[in-house]
Amino acid sequence: GEDVEQSLFLSVREGDSSVINCTYTDSSSTYLYWYKQEPGAGLQLLTYIFSNMDMKQDQRLTVLLNKKDKHLSLRIADTQTGDSAIYFCAEGAINTNAGKSTFGDGTTLTVKP
Amino acid sequence: EAGVAQSPRYKIIEKRQSVAFWCNPISGHATLYWYQQILGQGPKLLIQFQNNGVVDDSQLPKDRFSAERLKGVDSTLKIQPAKLEDSAVYLCASSLDDQGTEAFFGQGTRLTVV
């Protein structure tokens, strides 16, 4: 079945770049998502990328997709303390949508001042 | 625009008791999802509704969990009887339809079963 894996923790200093990595197994994945979850809050969609794209940039966020290796990464430039949260990678197959995605277990990003 | 509303925010019950959670999706959103998020894990889909019909409930433990969306708007998720392993955050999400690329999540209900 589908499986999405992420490293559990990442710690960076304020102002540095953060790179959060994710691997997935379902080769039919059409959409790949990054969500942010702050303490006591629901999930907030940050960005998504279609499987026919290699890269997507949105302000401080850069998503890189290596479809051959089934590897997805999220780079946050100039990381701020407000970026501290849990980041979830998720994948969705064709004919499904974001609500029916398979999620990884999340990477806890800690930004130190 | 109001977001997805869930209540209660927190609930503590004893095992074998019953509990119900309520969700009000974003106005006009046809698709509604319930997720279970166990501490330290990502959300796992329990059930998906399209309007008032069930699209996918393959991961719902039907011996104890039930959900309904009678009028195609609000939804309730019930657990009866609860087990210790049901302790989790129950997240409701909605999307405009079943072909969209974004689902909007509520803040969740944190259930503790003691």
Q: Would you state the structure tokens that stand for residue A35, as one six-digit string?
A: 């969500």
Nearest to B108 among A42, A45, A97 (CB): A42
Alpha helices in B1-112 (DSSP H): none
In angstroms, rounded to a whole number, what is the distance separating the alpha carbons of residues A56 and A65? 9
Cis (ω within 30 of 0) for the bond into B61? no
Express each pLDDT in B80-103 by its tens digit: 999 999 999 999 999 887 666 678
Task: Tell me the per-residue pLDDT of B28-86, one tens digit each, with 9 for 90 and over.
Answer: 999 999 999 999 999 999 999 999 899 889 999 999 999 999 888 999 999 999 999 99
Contacts of A27 (CB under 8 A, 6+ apart): A70
Secondary structure of residue B94 in the 3-state scheme = strand
Using beta carbons and an 8 Å cutoff, which residues of B are at the interface with A?
4, 31, 33, 40-45, 48, 56, 91, 93-95, 97-108
- Longest CA–CA separation in chain B, Å: 40
Taking the Cβ of residue A61 and every Cβ of chain B, the question of whether any pair is shorter than 8 Å is answered with no
- Helices and strands (H, E) in chain A, number of each type: 0, 11
For residue B8, whether the previous peptide bond is cis, meaning omega lies within 30 degrees of 0, is yes
Mean pLDDT by 10 residues, chain A (113 residues): 86 97 85 90 89 92 94 97 96 65 94 94
